[in-house]
Amino acid sequence: MEIVMAKVHVPSRPAASWTSTQAYVLAAFCLVLGVTLGYLFRGSASPDADAVSVSSATGTSTSGMPGPTPAQPSPAQMKEMLDHASAPLLETLKGNPNDFATIVKLGNLYYDSKQYPEAIAYYQRALKLQANNPDIITDMGTAYWYTGDADKALAEFKKSLKIRPGHAGTLFNMGVVQWQGKMDPAAAVQAWQELLRANPNYPQRQQIEDFITKAKQHLKA
């Protein structure tokens, strides 16, 4: 069972230098990218969106039926879209290198395009401005996971939980890494049970309970 990591969205205002056309280009790029990957991570900070990304990433619709397979852009097309979408953000940083919102947007953009080392670099830059931001710490940990470094991912998640115990996105992702990265379903169960305990109104509670059940089945195997 493969579970896709949930990404935390950090609400922020659009950079003042953006035009409506530039904002549209960025939104269109992210939409195309989301369809290509089977999910769109950067949409909501709510636990509901975190959990929904798991089911949508499997290529199933909300009805449980397989969704259509979209035509995928070529690597060259993806690079062109990424360059186009990042250009106004990079231009903004030239005038204001410490624009936190723009730095985070760039980190998210590279993350969504699977350019994880670049995403990590921008998240690190953002954390120099807001060192105790658990959302950014969680996203950086998730990016580390996708580079194949489970230990660094868990280290970042632990930092996040020290700042905000019970952080739903952090606990969700910690469970994924413990199970799929460290082959420790017991630790995954512990993280997901803590998620439900700390967030009793978690919108996708049933999904998490299903994950817990499957992890426990691995323990018995």
What pTM value is reported for the model?
A: 0.73
What's the mean pLDDT in 18-29?
42
Evaluate if residue 216 carries a pLDDT over 80. yes
If you search the block for the tokens 């996203």, which residue do you land on? 139
What's the mean pLDDT in 3-32?
45
Alpha-carbon separation of residue 64 from 59, 67, 175, 211 (angstroms): 9, 9, 23, 16
What secondary structure does DSSP assign to 98-162, as a single string?
Answer: T-HHHHHHHHHHHHHTT-HHHHHHHHHHHHHH-TT-HHHHHHHHHHHHHTT-HHHHHHHHHHHHH
All structural domains of the chain: 20-220 (1.25.40.10)
Picking from 34, 161, 192, 15, the residue whose alpha carbon sits closest to that of residue 93 is: 15
What's the mean pLDDT in 13-25?
39
What secondary structure does DSSP assign to 29-96, as a single string?
Answer: HHHHHHHHHT---TT-SSHHHHHHHHHHHTTB-TTSSBPP-PPPPPHHHHHHHHHHHHHHHHHHHHH-
Evaluate if residue 19 carries a pLDDT over 90. no
Coil/strand/helix, residue 219:
helix
Residues 27-80: tens digit of each pLDDT: 444 444 333 333 323 322 333 433 333 333 323 333 334 455 567 778 888 888
Residues 141-187: tens digit of each pLDDT: 999 999 999 999 999 999 999 999 999 999 999 999 999 999 999 99
